[in-house]
Amino acid sequence: MTKITLVRHGQTDYNKNRIIQGQIDIPLNSLGKEQAVKTSNHFKNESIDLIISSPLIRAYETAQIIANEINYTNDILIDKAFIERNFGQADGKEISLCIEKVHQEEITGLELSSQLKKRMIDGILKVVKENENKNIVIVCHSHSIKAVLSALNPDQYNFKTPLTNCGITLLEHRDNQLTILKASYNDYI
């Protein structure tokens, strides 16, 4: 059995101001750094074999803070399979002005939901294949995690499912099956 923990990055000023970040490289703000420290409490009693991060700075900073807090001594791997969705022309825009067009996939340059789901599931399965029976943490993004949730359980999750900054989603890979154990919780903060 392989355990996969998806962690959404901590808060950024774009999150605070309700602006779509997509693949714009925005760092954590002070609250986001505090959230990452508190998130590390979830992992204090676990042995983490591997931490992987999206290449975007907000995810990498979150991964670094968690790694430092839990005394993780291995390298944090960067994997672009876990980068946030490309929101095309919606990047940098207020969420309220374009979120419905995103959900309807009417934005020029938008990475389609089907493409994002495939990228994320393929990325996770590749990591699992290379790290069977390990405890893996992947620090990534809101729509990346929503893609996984909606791919695995479309009756319960979709791209409108709310996810908190530094929320944790637990997955398990057993007998060639990827299963959601718990979605986007943050009771450790």
Task: State yes or no: is 84 an active-site residue.
Answer: yes
What is the pTM (predicted TM-score) of this model?
A: 0.96
pLDDT at residue 68, as a whole number: 97
pLDDT at residue 185, as a whole number: 84
pLDDT at residue 184, as a whole number: 85
Which is catalytic among the residues 9, 42, 143, 173?
Answer: 9
Which residues, given as ranges, of the chain have pLDDT below 50? none
Q: Is 173 helix (H, G, I), strand (E, B) or coil?
A: strand
pLDDT at residue 189, as a whole number: 63
What values do phi and psi take at 183, rounded to 5?
-115, 130
Task: State yes or no: is 130 an active-site residue.
Answer: no
| Helical segments of the chain, H only | 13-16, 30-40, 57-69, 95-103, 113-130, 142-152
Which is catalytic among the residues 42, 61, 84, 141?
Answer: 84
Burial of 61 (0-12, 13-18, 19+ CB in 10 A): buried
Q: Decide if 9 contacts 165 (C-beta within 8 A).
A: yes
Instruction: Give the class (CATH, top level) of 2-185.
Output: alpha beta
- The residue with tokens 């990325």 is 123
pLDDT at residue 38, as a whole number: 96
Residues in CB range of 97: below 8 A, 6 or more apart: none
Nearest C-alpha neighbor of 18 from the set 121, 92, 123, 103: 92
